[in-house]
Chain A
Amino acid sequence: MSRDPYNATVRRHFANPLHAGVLQPRYPDVVTAEARESDSGFRVVLGAELDGRMMRRLRYRVFGCPHLIAAAELSCARFEGGTVESLRDVSVAELMERLEVPVEKTGRMLLLEDAARLLAAAMQDIIGRGQADETSPGEPTGM
């Protein structure tokens, strides 16, 4: 027998994808990362606009099912405005429980975790390079 595969949270975020979109690539403020599953084509692209160690804006593009879209929307809403390090707290297990995601979708849900970790690493890299530049002797500070 068929039951509604989507709970109210999934339906709400699917219908109102406030964080869907692409950030204009204004290097070095904007960082993007992507994870994809080659067989199915499922894909998560995350973008962050940095403000020091803070993520001023977070955006996503998802090729995937309503559960994955809702998970990306929830994550962006939660972590936007937070520190780069906080992005490592994206938890697929927690999202799957909240969104009542069927277990067979675990693989595609992990794409979100992968993309978040890649984004966090890319942002750390940029921040690290910036700090190195600031401490390099003889380099102009730009101030």
Chain B
Amino acid sequence: MNSKAAPNASDAVYLDNAATTPLDPAVAAVMCRSLSRHGAFANPASIHIAGRASAHVVERARSQLADLVQTDPRNLIFTSGATESNNLAIVGAAHFRSHRGRHLITMPTEHKAVTDTFAALERQGFEVTWLQPDREGVLATGDLESAIRDDTQLVSIMHVNNETGVVQDIRDIGECCRRRGVLFHCDAAQSIGKLPIDLSALPIDMMSITAHKFHGPQGIGALYVADRPHCHIQPLFHGGGQERRIRPGTLAVHQIVGFGEAAAIAAERQQRDLAHLQALNDRLWRGISGLPGVLRNGSASRSFPGILNASVEDIEGESLLLALEPVCVASGSACNSRSGESSYVLRALGRDDHLAQSAIRFSFGRFTRDSDIDTAIVRYNEAVRHLRGIMPTRAA
């Protein structure tokens, strides 16, 4: 095989849905219509008829998204994705409330879009408490309660961990924050559209969401900001009045339309999709867990079924990733990270470097088939056998 030839994505067995999901064909169809000459291409901020037509489809999409998460559409601000939403929520809230106090709380197992944002705030003089989860990745609410101080302004805890799939008890965390008068931001990039989220009942002040993790388009997301006293954020950008002046800039209408459609489909299919993901997860774990030295990362009982993360003893992660081709997965190895280190999330869960770097995250979606899982099982078993013939054991 000529390694310089363009890779063919149709050869891939795609099990990396936590990174991004393929677009639902129905979403692609409405986006294409929106992009056409007769679609809603005009700037929705314009007051002419074409602009008003675009504004209409934007607001319909906002309502579709609001229906999915059970909130008022006016509480949703469109952004470019979860990274921007996280930055806007965390930096915006920290600065807005900095006159009250400069103490913030999060976890080291959050996504880099959160941890790096908190690290940047630390450099600006904010004090951050980094709460450790237990060995299964779960945050004990008692630890959060103890960490909150009189000057604490913001707590940010994700819903579903992007590496392990571990689900945090965001109701309990939110109630704790409400009792202590602290804002609670939740990164729901991995759970939106996949797990039920009822913002009318959950004590959450801000929630980051994105379209491309649930078969919507890349490059579009939203930030939920609760309509509550003291729940305000400073904008990161300036230059227009869009999105309640919190996120100015011309709205990407076709992406928003796709986001809305993905939300409508997810609302309708959520239970079926969830059952499908659980069946895929169970099938894969049955197929690989019999191999000696294979360990599941994260709580089995508190994990989102769309993600299965497993390590294997005495196997190097980058080699495992190559041996698994054409199965597309994510690895905990240093080769998979820009930092050159093995997964910081798994190390925070107490996995040593050896096990963290051998971790493979399999993640499934609506379009994953049983046959994809069966291919992955065969490839994983073959890959581990192949590499055990090459690699010395740690004890040897």
Contacts and interface: CB of A to CB of B under 8 A. Distances in A.
Contacts of B4: 4
Contacts of A64: 316, 319
A66 B319 contact: yes
A43 to B, nearest CB: 6
B182 to A, nearest CB: 39
Given A6-B322, A41-B353, A63 B3 contact: no
Given A8-B2, A41-B353, A104-B340, A69 B392 contact: no
Given A4-B3, A4-B4, A11-B3, A65 B318 contact: yes
Contacts of B334: 40
Contact of A69 (B3, B7, B340, B390): B390
Interface in A1-34: 4-8, 11, 14, 17, 20-21
Closest 6 CB pairs of A and B: A61-B392, A65-B318, A20-B390, A4-B3, A63-B391, A8-B3
A62 B390 contact: yes
Interface in B103-160: none
A77 to B, nearest CB: 14
Contact of B322 (A14, A17, A39, A43): A14
A90 interface: no
Contacts of B319: 14, 64-66, 69
Interface of A: 4-8, 11, 14, 17, 20-21, 39-43, 45, 61-66, 69, 104
Interface residues of B, number: 23
B392 A45 contact: yes
Given A4-B3, A11-B1, A41-B353, A66 B389 contact: no
Contact of B392 (A4, A63, A104): A63
A74 B65 CA distance: 56
B3 A43 contact: no
B353 A21 contact: no
B318 A66 contact: yes
Which of A17, A21, A69 is most buried by chain B, counting CB atoms within 10 A of its CB? A69
Contact of A62 (B2, B7, B353, B391): B391
20 contacts: A4-B3, A4-B4, A7-B3, A8-B3, A20-B389, A40-B334, A40-B353, A41-B357, A41-B394, A45-B392, A61-B392, A61-B396, A62-B391, A63-B316, A63-B391, A63-B392, A64-B316, A65-B318, A69-B319, A104-B340
